[in-house]
A and B are shown apart, each in its own frame.
Chain A
Amino acid sequence: MFKNIADVHQRLGSQQYIASDEISTVVYLAQSLCKPILAEGPAGVGKTELAKVWAKAIGAPLVRLQCYEGLDESKALYEWEYAKQMLYTQLLRDTLHNILGDVTSLADAANRLAQEDDVFFSDNFLLPRPLLTALTSDEPVVLLIDEIDRADVEFEAFLLEVLSDFQVTVPELGTITAKHQPMVLLTSNNTRELSEALKRRCLYLYVDYPALDDELNIVRLKVPDLRPELAHQAVAVVQQLRNMDLRKVPSISETLDWARALVTLNAKEIDEKTLGNTLTVLLKYESDVAKARRMMGDGGSSRGRHNR
């Protein structure tokens, strides 16, 4: 557990995650208020990463639930292993003779069997999925519910019940209450509006692209082999690209990929040639690449060099 906000910042930092004041504050508040965090923002700004480093920083296991269209309770919560249950029943048939060997009436047999009920309905046949794993864990966990906006509306409603009481009902076994309240991080890429009820239960964190200095720090931390001047130049180019009207602007992870590419290629400086060769690491659409080349003022020349 974190002691204070500086502690959050420092311990996330030791996991190579540079947390802004905002992120540290919200994480600390989430822990103190026992509330889930809803993190929104463009793709690739480190929302998912935050959950991972959060778990590592406090030494708790991370349980991840990836949402997608059509995700339902049975895939998110638990599944009942009928096959295993049947197998057990069949294997136990011989042993049943031992128990029921000396009974004479049917009612007696039923009573005996009822005493052994637990064998047939027990945790053995419960196959926990992420949500149940998080609730039944013996130690506190960090539960990451990734891309909640992709799940269907009715799954969101189901999730609300879990998030408000931290307990679920399994028809075969009864109600299971969380031993420790998990720390929950929901991420959303804002592809659809989430319900008000869900938002009301969460602390809200908007993660945006970092400013130049912050991004430079991230690059230095994650790709220490890149020379400082080059790193500065590279980040400046990325920041410039983000201001352009592109179909998909480069994210932090793409900046890091690019930085690694520059190290691998042993680039001395970011000139037209290096940029032309590696721009596709940053930009993922042909039209974007063309636009960026025009913008950087080396559209014709670099393409000409490729052709030769």
Chain B
Amino acid sequence: MDDRVVEFIRGLRAAGVRVSLAESMDAMRAMEILGISNKTLFRESLRATLIKGSDDFAPFDELFPLYFSSGGPMMQNALDDLSPDEQQMLQAALQALSGRLQQLMEWLTSGQGPTKEELEDLAQRAGADWAEDQQQSRWVTRRMLQQMGFSHLEQQMQELLQKLQEMGMSQQAIDKLMGVVEANREALAEQVAQQIGLQIAQQRANRPDDLYGSDLMYKPFHALSPAEVDILRKEIQRLVTQLRSRAALRRKRGKHGKFDAKSTIRANQRYGGVPMEIKHKKRKLKPSLVLLCDVSRSTENVVEFMLHLTHELHDQVSRMKSFAFYDRLVEIPDEVMNYIRHDDADKAFDIIRNMLPYRPYGTDLGGCLETFCDKHMGTINGRTTLIILGDGRNNFNSPRIDLVKELQQRARKLVWFNPEQPREWGTGDSDMLEYRANCDEVFSVRNLAQLSAAVDKLLSS
């Protein structure tokens, strides 16, 4: 039984539930205390120890019956209720049935379903080996039932009915027989569905998990497949929680500000004016951010993650404004941020692309900086951190280094996030080296790990 639970936990992990070793041990101890004879209790004990959020109830509810049931409801034997004569009639009628449905009809009437080997064989032929998730399992189940002949069953039943009537079986016995066969049909379908579901869950648990874990964090943004992007989107939430608690702790433990005479006197009034508690002025540490994002095709992924991260961390930032640029510069509307927060980046980028239609060799960073300085200079003051996210490739347009210099002087800090490797900077149409000379800090953010480290650094200063 312990092995089964361990397998079940592997299945849960493969379905995206985070289960730690400590939690697995809790589950085992709970099992020892409550026993396994009562299925509801057993289920509750596993759920209370393994599942730690209402989002994870769905995979649990889906997988539990697959791992901990005896392969579906039992089938009954229809022959038990029949007299020897009637049994012979049934045998004869079954013999007369045509072809491949004979096997199915025999399973249904005798209550002896297919053996485990037969089921596995059938599953393989239905393509269960290639199925990846529980949605596909429904499809494989349907295919498998079809192969077993379920689609022609109705017709076959009618034929059998007719034959039995011709042979003179009593109506009562026929009704009874049909009832049992009908029940068996449902039971068999259920057994098949469970068999397939379990097989697929196990396959998923046994697959080398190249897609999961922290490896993806280190994969360059441009090399991510859509499926991998999806997985990373789920990771964002965890990443945000980590970054947030780090930032909050840092703010708490960080050096306090100047001595605050006024509030110290006030706080120590109750000690008769003896300064027992020293109060300090709180330094305002939350940064205010202005974000300029290059939204050409090559940087879409990194822009999405950047916007997502910064938006989720809004409580750690005092003010934030974001702009998108390509050939022109526009402010990113709230609507887009909403889509990004709900993992619907495609819609978000549709809106941005509508505002900034694609043009070959369209990127004009210099021009966009000019627009920004003309129209939005008011957003930059001595407390603002200005972040430019882009590859610094300017299609040989004027880089407008003078504007970058001006912005750097005006803002508290000018930070550049570049999704390219440092050795690519300055090659071809990249003006990165010149820009770099005028930035306070430059980060290469090729993957999510680098991006989150850079954001962390940003929040800490």
Contact = CB atoms under 8 A, between A and B. Distances in A.
A166 to B, nearest CB: 16
Contact of B48 (A193, A200, A205): A205
Interface stretch (A22-30, A179-187, A222-230): A22-30
A204 B249 CA distance: 26
Contacts of B44: 21-22, 25-26
B48 A83 contact: no
A242 B40 CA distance: 27
Given A29-B33, A29-B34, A203 B248 contact: no
B20 interface: yes
B343 interface: no
Nearest to A26: B48
B52 A32 contact: no
Interface string B223-265: 0000000000000011001001100110010000000000000
Contacts of B41: 5, 21, 25
A180 B234 CA distance: 40
B244 A196 contact: no
B22 interface: yes
B248 A38 contact: no
B54 A154 contact: no
B57 interface: yes
A200 B40 contact: no
B7 interface: no
- B23, B51, B53, B241, most chain A CB atoms within 10 A: B53
A29 B245 contact: no
Contacts of A32: 30, 33
Contacts of A28: 34
B23 A25 contact: no
B48 A204 contact: yes
B276 interface: yes
Contacts of A199: 52-53
A202 B47 CA distance: 12
Contacts of B45: 25, 29
B272 interface: yes
B270 A83 contact: yes
Given A25-B41, A152-B248, A86 B48 contact: no
Contacts of B270: 83
Contacts of B248: 152-154
Given A21-B41, A29-B30, A152-B248, 15 more contacts: A21-B40, A21-B44, A25-B48, A26-B48, A33-B33, A86-B271, A153-B244, A157-B245, A195-B241, A196-B52, A196-B238, A199-B53, A200-B22, A202-B52, A203-B48
List the 5 shortest-distance A-B pairs measured between CB atoms, nearest first: A199-B52, A25-B44, A153-B245, A153-B248, A82-B276
